[in-house]
Amino acid sequence: AIKTIEQAIADKAYETGHIRPYPPERKTGRRVAIIGSGPAGMAAAQQLGRAGHDVHVYERESRPGGLMRYGIPDFKIEKHYIDRRIEQMQGEGVSFHCGINVGVDKPVAQLLAEYDAVLYCGGSETPRPANIPGDDLDGVHDAMPYLVQQNKRIGGEPIQSVAWPSPPIVAGGQHVVVVGGGDTASDCVGTAFRQGAVRVTQLDIRPQPPEKEDKLSVWPYWATKMRTSSSQAEGAEREFQVATLEFIGEDGALTGVKCCEVDEKRKPIAGTEFVIRADLAFIAIGFAGPAAVGPVSELAGQMKIAIDSRRSNNVEANDRDYKTSVEKLYAAGDVRRGQSLVVWAIREGRQAARSIDEALMGSSVLPR
């Protein structure tokens, strides 16, 4: 097929690292604030900006992107892709306000007074408690402060984070144990290797999956089979069907991780205990709701917003109009849904944008 001149220009811009902005033909005069610049917030901001609204995104860190920028290592997503999308969105009229921790530096109530609608896309950030004895030893850390620090180093930023304060953590020359079998655990493994770790062991309480899936029993659902991430392929030692019993230390510093085998009900099997040497241990077993400090604390305390206590105290809103119990306030992404995937956050952000556009204008051409 013959390309139009516009298509050729757009393709060339993509190849050279730029994406053509698509600013709206006319402005609506309506103003929308978005709290959080992760996948849900960015997706919603672009849709609302293209619909003609004056969109302002508030981010507590020094750069937009949320945990797409600060929680996922560069070897999985290079940050120039995020920068390219931000550049495009700015060309479409979206404004980014970084270094503002809404709920601390700027009250949510002030945003609700200044804007026609506010969309809360704060994510799920509270680490799921492991309740493992010895987790207060020096050398035992939640996964996210470690990953955020490394992303800030790579990005040339000061390593201290507003949301994830921690002393410097570096795995060079260390024996590392990662507790957890998911993507975040794998990210810790790959980051530790790149920092020069001597040995990295990953502990997974689940049994080792089969090499091939039984397609007839699981289709169309995600098949259970043995998978090896690029990080694990770099030399990680993987222990399956193993529980972490205790972090062991001397003089307040971590020296080892006590483990044991478990049965099919994840109960410890007596006599199977063993200890893995460890100078650093990272707990990567997921997240249990939004950050305790920030918008949720203000909303729950002063505005009595409805909270879904059955789902890790997430903000309560349905997946049709994404409205919360507070007038003009919407919620989308992991702060509403709970810990999930990037694609779900993008979907919810786009659907929430349509709902906001309909509420402000009476109708919407944005896709749902």
- One domain, residues 247 and 328: no
Q: pTM here?
A: 0.89
Predicted confidence band of residue 1 (pLDDT cuts 50, 70, 90): very low
- One domain, residues 146 and 276: yes
Q: Look at residues 283, 305, 329 and tell me which one is the last residue of a structural domain.
A: 283
We report the CATH number of the domain holding residue 90 as 3.50.50.60
Mean confidence (pLDDT) of the chain: 92
Q: Count up the domains in the chain and report the number.
A: 2
pLDDT 10s digits, 342-358: 999 999 999 999 999 99
Q: Which pLDDT score is estimated for 201?
A: 98
Distance CA 90, CA 94 (A): 5
Q: Which pLDDT score is estimated for 269?
A: 97
Residue 8 clears pLDDT 70, i.e. is over it:
no
- One domain, residues 150 and 44: no
Whether 130 maps to a domain, the answer reads no
End-to-end CA distance of the chain: 30
Nearest-CA neighbor of 335 among 352, 317, 355?
317
- One domain, residues 273 and 163: yes
- One domain, residues 116 and 154: no
200 is in which domain, residue-wise? 140-283
- One domain, residues 187 and 155: yes
Query: Strands, DSSP E only, in the chain?
Result: 31-35, 54-59, 95-98, 117-120, 140-142, 175-179, 199-204, 237-240, 242-250, 253-261, 274-277, 280-283, 307-308, 314-315, 329-331
Q: Look at residues 283, 302, 319 and tell me which one is the last residue of a structural domain.
A: 283
Whether 135 maps to a domain, the answer reads no
Whether 235 maps to a domain, the answer reads yes
Q: Look at residues 283, 313, 339 and tell me which one is the last residue of a structural domain.
A: 283
